Structure 1
């Protein structure tokens, strides 16, 4: 059996998505859906039955994150400590530079659906497949937006076989790489909001992320109450960022 070819597989995904299609693809914190156009993101939104307050997250690697997020040095150092020094996945919400070429290429309505009060969410360091797709996005100046491949509220999916049929039917291409790395958490990525270093969602690797920011920066994040008490992992929904 031949070895997997990440570069070729990701190129196929990128070509479908940049052409207006939808892909289901793997990253370390589960399977996601990705699109680039207003129509594709609306189809993802409708198929997932997302609430109207939900924002899209833009895909980005470390280079894209440094360029798009407008942060002070300490906040940027925290993000890089987590994602680069300790090699952990993280969702980061932070003020963004709306004049960045990637954001300038986004349709006004899609940009409005993906930002809140001048901030944008970005998943970081979610594995080699994710990083390769982000590299293609950055080099082609083609913005990509992602969401988990599941009906909203049903929890992340770590195998293609577990994704709901209607979600799979909405995709133009599905990249199946088997069971995902952080399946044992049964949660999506941990999300922090910067510069506040505020927990928005407790997710994968939360205990490791908490340890990093406590030891390196003296910041005590809230204790994880456990999946029985906080099954979705959300402490504060991104909708709060929409308030004036």
Structure 2
């Protein structure tokens, strides 16, 4: 036994996805499924038993976010305060550049299933492995799309052994990094739509993100009613992405 081989695992994940496959990949906020080809994404969608209104999100890193999202100066500062200064995970929803090579590589029907209006969601600060995979994919112009590795409505999984068998059966590779960093939140990432300054999903590190917004920008985000009231954390169910 030895340390996780992040560069080697990142290369394996990228090659699998680039060849048309799908992978269960660990992120700090839980296990996700990622793919790029329409066929693999359709296979994941069916395995997860997802409702038609749900969307794929893009696995990203800070560099890809800055290139793809088109945010105003104040909104960029908010993202930077969370992901650079506080080093917290955040799913950023915002207007995007359709001409960016990674976005332009997405087949039109798949792009429609990955966007809401003129906005796209991208997870930033997903962890070291996600950043490494995205760097390779970004360099090669390959989009990484997906969602959480669970049957729809059953909640984020933080250990591979908790992922349902239909999801395992639908992928070509499983990368197991054990219990994920933010498992105590029992939710996926916090998601904010910066085009409307609206919280889409209350998730990991939400109380810390609330404090950043209040203390640095004078913005009061909605209170978390708790998992007993809102297990998924979604405040905008009609547009949920995982």
Do these two structures clear the TM 0.5 threshold for a shared fold by scoring above it? Answer: yes
Deviation at 1:126, TM superposition (A): 1.1
- Please list every run of 5 or more consecutive structure 2 residues that lacks an aligned counterpart in the other structure: none
Q: Indicate conservation of the 8 Å contact 1:72/1:195, yes or no.
A: no
Deviation at 1:195, TM superposition (A): 3.0
Tell me if 1:160 matches 2:152. no
Q: Which residue of 2 aligns with 1:130?
A: 130
Please identify, of 1-10 and 210-219, the stretch whose mean Cα deviation from structure 2 is larger. 1-10
Deviation at 1:237, TM superposition (A): 2.6
Please identify, of 145-154 and 190-199, the stretch whose mean Cα deviation from structure 2 is larger. 190-199
Tell me if 1:217 matches 2:224. no
Give every structure 1 segment of 4 or more consecutive aligned residues whose post-TM-superposition deviation is greater than 6 Å: none
* Superposed counterparts of 1:1-244, under 5 Å: 1-237=1-237, 239=239
Deviation at 1:232, TM superposition (A): 1.1
For residues 61 and 105 of structure 1, what CA distance do their matches in structure 2 show?
18
Q: Deviations over 1:1-34 (max 9, x none)?
A: 3322100011101100110001001000000000
Deviation at 1:238, TM superposition (A): 5.2
- Please list every run of 5 or more consecutive structure 1 residues that lacks an aligned counterpart in the other structure: none
Could you state the TM-score of these two structures normalised by the residue count of structure 1? 0.96
Could you state the TM-score of these two structures normalised by the residue count of structure 2? 0.97
For residues 53 and 89 of structure 2, what CA distance do their matches in structure 1 show?
24
Q: Indicate conservation of the 8 Å contact 2:200/2:240, yes or no.
A: no
Q: Indicate conservation of the 8 Å contact 1:200/1:238, yes or no.
A: no
Aligned length: 241
Deviation at 1:231, TM superposition (A): 0.8
Deviation at 1:239, TM superposition (A): 2.7
